[in-house]
Each structure stands twice: as structure tokens, then as C-alpha cells.
């Protein structure tokens, strides 16, 4: 991972504050990289005179200037041809705090404040996880933790909001370690019928219950020697929890209807939840001993809003995965997507992106397409604002019928909006 070593990194201390340094996540047409901000102002652009050179044909030779201070970083536009965007809005100059996203042409610069003894230089050299999109400091820290835990046999509890990619991280834990050649079995506990949970996890003998016409191995046996991923572990019924605890303590699995001490099946368990298991323990919905057995190692996934610099990369991967046309976005569209808080995380981003690509047709995804995608309600109808309607009319060179078709509304409705 490229980092600049030509100038000392700025380390600042305000009264009563821990020493901090500022880093930029750089996302241009080249490989994502990290850039430590030096003490002196930094010129950003494509010119050889720029300290931070971007690989982006929409960026001016000297596009903007960055100045690190005690409480953040000031960004100033240098009369660039495509301007700068901060958190989705075009500006001439702005004061940026940690987490701010600066749009420079198609490129994105994300500001990080690194506190105290955090070794950002070491994190910058950590390669991203395969299959998990993200090159931010938060995701490099995650990658380092996943690799450290991948060789362990103890359970791992993955915690994070809905849509943060818990199963992808569980797969990375499996594939980075010695179990990679063995099975990875994923079970969504919340989707299992309550009366069949034990059978699905531990298997059953023939005749164990009505409908059990044949013996079934169960998820633990299917994942033998590998990894069993239990998603939404907080929904595991109380009556099944002692059997899971026994399987974790001694790898002992006894099928429903089986006799004796059961079978020893060495399987690593990775569990995940978006809930607070501590709260469920306090409410009597989850066994305390099972909770402590599961939380030997805990991985907390960052929400998308705390790693905004990863959003353009995730968008690119999602557009390719969904086979959407177009696969490019304007700087304004990327800035608008990056500025959103995404309470539904990557799952919500995917939905908005697919809708925006639909509205764009063969053209690059622009800001108005993103706004239209945000305004579409659950019934699939578009809540179209006059501003978006005017932007669509400009995009279609004043052709009212074409703009109305793009908005999926009648021509008369579209005409009323632009009056």
C-alpha cells in the first residue's frame, strides 16, 4: 500500500486533547491508498507540482489545497474545472472534521483522525480481505483481526447492524485459516421453524418425531472439520441452547432421538447477531453461560456511515455483481451516495443503486438518478420533486416526453412539476 514518506506526518495537540494525526483515504482511478497529511499545506491534482497526485482525468492540474489544523482540515478549491464536494454539497472552501468526504472529480478523499498510539502506518500495509469490499482504516483493522483469529478453534461472535456483511466476514474467517478446504455451512437461526431447530442443527434419527422417515445428519455434521455459521444467534430458542452449549464445550453432538453420549464432531462455530445478547440475557431470553461461551472472541463490524470512503468501491462492485448498465457514476452522484447515512447499510445501498441505474438507462448515473432512487416509495412509485424534474428535463435537452418517460410518470404530471 502506497503512503507518502516525503514529509513528516502532522501530529497536533490541543489543550486537553490526545495527540492526533490526520490521514486521507484516497479513492481515484488507481488502487485505493492511504496518504498521511504533512505539516505543510498539500496541493491536490494531476500536475507534477501536486503533493497528492490523483489518477483521474476529471481532476484539474492543481485542483484544491488541504491545510491541517488543530481541529480538522481545511479544503480550498483552486478554481478547478469540476469543483469540490464536501459531504455531497459543492463548496469553494470548507472545514472538514473526521469522517468528512471530499469529492475531487470522480475521486474521493476521506479524512481520518488517528488518535494517540494507533499505528496507521501499520494498518496501511494490511491487505483487504478477499470478498469483503473496503480499503478504509476501519476495514484494514477488521482484516487484521480476522486473520489473527482465523487459525483459532474457539467460537467467534460477530456483531453489527443489519446489512453490514456478517456472513461475508464469517466466510473470510473460514477461508483465511486452516479450515479453508473443509465445509462452510451457514444457517439462519431466525428462519428455522421452532420445532425443527434441534433437528436442523444436530440432526435426527429415523422415527425421532412424526415425519422423520429417514436419518438426518444436521448442520454440525455437515460442517465437520470446517466452520458452522449461525446467523441471528439471538433467536435460538431457549430449549435448544443447552445442546449448543454442550456442542461448544466438548464438540459433543447428539441427534434428536439418539441415545448415549452423542458423537464428537470438531466444528468451529461462528455466530452473528444484530441484537445485544447482553440485553437478551438480562431479559431471560438467552442463557448467560452460552453467551459467555460464544463471546470468547468478538468482532464488531463498522456500519457503512463510519467508512464512507468505501462506498464508491462498494458501488462499483455492486453494479458489476448486479450486471447493471451503466457502471459509472458522475462525481455528484458518488458524493450524494457517500453523504447518505445508510441505516440499512450495504443492503440499502444496493437497492438505491439498482434503482438509480434503472433510471439512468445507458447514461452514467447522475445526481438526479440517485435522488429519484431515494424518492421511490415501497410501492415502486416515484415521489418526484420539481428540482429533480428540471434536472431530468435538462438531461434530455428539453424533450418533455423523453424526460417524463425517464421519470416513469405521465407527460401531464411532469409538465405540472416544472411550471
Q: Which residue has the higher pLDDT, 34 or 50?
A: 50
Predicted pLDDT of residue 299: 97
The CATH architecture to which 151-300 belongs is 3-Layer(aba) Sandwich (3.40)
Using pLDDT thresholds of 50, 70 and 90, give the confidence band for residue 110: confident
The CATH architecture to which 304-418 belongs is Orthogonal Bundle (1.10)
Predicted pLDDT of residue 6: 39
Residue 48 has pLDDT above 50, yes or no: yes
Using pLDDT thresholds of 50, 70 and 90, give the confidence band for residue 261: low
Mean pLDDT across the stretch 247-262? 76
Q: Within 13 A of 18's CA, how many CA atoms are on the CB side?
A: 9
Establish whether domains 11-119 and 304-418 are of one fold. no
CB 27 within 8 A of CB 309: yes
Predicted pLDDT of residue 381: 55
- Percentage of residues in the chain having pLDDT higher than 90: 42
Residue 405 has pLDDT above 80, yes or no: no
Please tell me the distance from the alpha carbon of residue 311 to that of residue 304, in angstroms, as a whole number.
8
Please tell me the distance from the alpha carbon of residue 408 to that of residue 373, in angstroms, as a whole number.
12
Q: What is the pLDDT of residues 126-184, one digit of tens each?
A: 888 888 988 888 898 899 999 999 999 999 999 999 999 999 999 999 999 999 999 99
Range in 271-280, 281-290, 377-386 the model is least confident about: 377-386
Mean pLDDT across the stretch 75-93? 90
Predicted pLDDT of residue 4: 41
State the CATH class of domain 11-119: mainly beta
Average pLDDT along the chain: 84
Predicted pLDDT of residue 263: 79
| Site of grid cell 452460552 | 290
Q: Which residue has the higher pLDDT, 273 or 14?
A: 273
Q: Which residue has the higher pLDDT, 389 or 272?
A: 272
Range in 226-230, 232-236, 293-297, 327-331 the model is least confident about: 327-331
Residue 388 has pLDDT above 80, yes or no: no
Mean pLDDT across the stretch 410-418? 74
Nearest Cα neighbor of 182 from 244, 253, 268, 115 is 268
Residue 286 has pLDDT above 70, yes or no: yes
Residue 344 has pLDDT above 80, yes or no: yes
Q: Within a 10 A sphere around the Cβ of 327, how many other Cβ atoms?
A: 15
Residue 79 has pLDDT above 90, yes or no: yes
Q: Are strands 11-12 and 20-27 parallel, antiparallel or unpaired?
A: antiparallel
Q: How wide is the angle at C-alpha 86 spanned by C-alphas 81 and 92, nearest 5°?
A: 50
Residue 10 has pLDDT above 50, yes or no: no
Mean pLDDT across the stretch 31-57? 92
Mean pLDDT across the stretch 380-397? 68
- Max mean pLDDT among 71-75, 207-211, 237-241, 384-388 falls in 237-241
Q: For the chain, which residues make up each domain, given as ranges?
A: 11-119, 151-300, 304-418
Nearest Cα neighbor of 169 from 338, 321, 308, 346 is 346
Residue 265 has pLDDT above 90, yes or no: no
Amino acid at each position: 500500500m502506497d503512503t507518502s514518506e516525503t514529509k513528516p506526518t502532522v501530529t497536533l495537540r490541543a489543550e486537553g486533547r490526545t495527540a492526533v494525526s490526520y490521514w486521507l483515504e484516497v479513492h481515484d482511478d488507481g488502487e485505493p491508498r492511504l496518504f498521511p497529511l504533512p505539516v505543510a499545506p498539500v496541493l491536490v491534482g494531476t500536475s507534477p507540482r501536486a503533493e497528492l497526485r490523483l489518477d483521474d482525468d476529471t481532476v484539474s492540474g492543481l485542483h484544491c489545497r488541504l491545510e491541517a489544523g488543530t481541529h480538522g482540515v481545511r479544503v480550498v478549491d483552486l478554481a478547478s474545472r469540476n469543483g469540490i464536494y464536501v459531504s455531497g454539497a459543492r463548496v469553494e472552501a470548507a472545514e472538514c472534521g473526521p469522517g468528512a468526504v471530499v469529492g475531487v472529480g470522480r475521486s474521493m478523499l476521506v479524512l481520518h483522525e488517528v488518535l494517540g498510539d494507533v499505528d496507521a502506518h501499520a494498518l496501511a500495509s494490511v491487505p483487504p480481505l478477499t470478498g469483503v469490499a473496503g480499503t478504509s482504516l476501519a476495514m484494514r483493522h477488521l482484516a487484521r483481526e480476522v486473520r489473527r483469529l482465523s487459525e483459532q478453534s474457539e467460537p467467534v461472535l460477530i456483531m453489527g447492524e443489519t446489512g453490514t456483511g456478517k456472513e461475508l466476514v464469517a466466510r473470510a474467517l473460514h477461508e483465511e485459516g486452516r479450515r479453508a478446504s473443509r465445509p462452510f455451512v451457514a444457517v439462519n437461526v431466525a428462519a428455522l421453524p421452532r420445532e425443527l431447530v434441534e433437528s436442523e442443527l444436530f440432526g435426527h434419527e429415523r422415527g425421532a418425531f412424526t415425519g422423520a422417515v429417514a436419518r438426518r445428519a444436521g448442520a454440525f455434521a455437515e460442517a465437520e472439520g470446517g466452520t458452522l455459521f449461525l446467523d441471528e444467534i439471538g433467536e435460538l430458542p431457549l430449549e435448544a441452547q443447552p445442546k449448543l452449549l454442550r456442542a461448544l464445550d466438548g464438540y459433543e453432538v447428539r441427534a434428536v432421538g439418539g441415545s448415549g453420549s452423542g458423537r464428537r464432531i470438531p466444528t468451529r462455530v461462528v455466530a452473528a447477531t444484530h441484537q445485544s445478547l447482553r440485553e437478551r440475557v438480562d431479559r431471560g431470553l438467552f442463557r448467560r453461560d452460552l453467551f459467555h461461551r460464544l463471546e470468547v472472541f468478538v468482532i464488531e463490524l463498522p456500519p457503512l456511515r463510519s467508512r464512507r470512503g468505501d462506498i464508491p468501491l462498494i458501488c462499483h462492485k455492486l453494479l458489476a455483481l448486479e450486471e447493471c448498465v451503466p457502471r459509472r457514476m458522475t462525481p455528484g452522484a458518488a458524493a450524494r451516495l457517500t453523504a447518505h447515512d445508510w441505516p440499512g447499510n450495504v443492503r440499502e445501498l444496493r437497492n438505491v443503486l439498482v434503482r438509480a441505474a434503472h433510471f439512468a438507462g445507458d447514461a452514467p448515473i447522475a445526481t438526479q438518478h440517485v435522488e429519484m432512487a431515494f424518492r421511490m416509495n415501497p410501492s415502486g412509485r416515484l415521489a418526484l420533486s420539481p428540482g429533480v424534474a428540471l434536472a431530468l428535463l435538462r438531461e434530455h435537452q428539453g424533450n418533455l416526453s423523453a424526460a417524463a418517460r425517464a421519470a416513469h410518470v405521465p407527460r401531464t404530471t411532469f409538465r405540472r412539476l416544472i411550471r
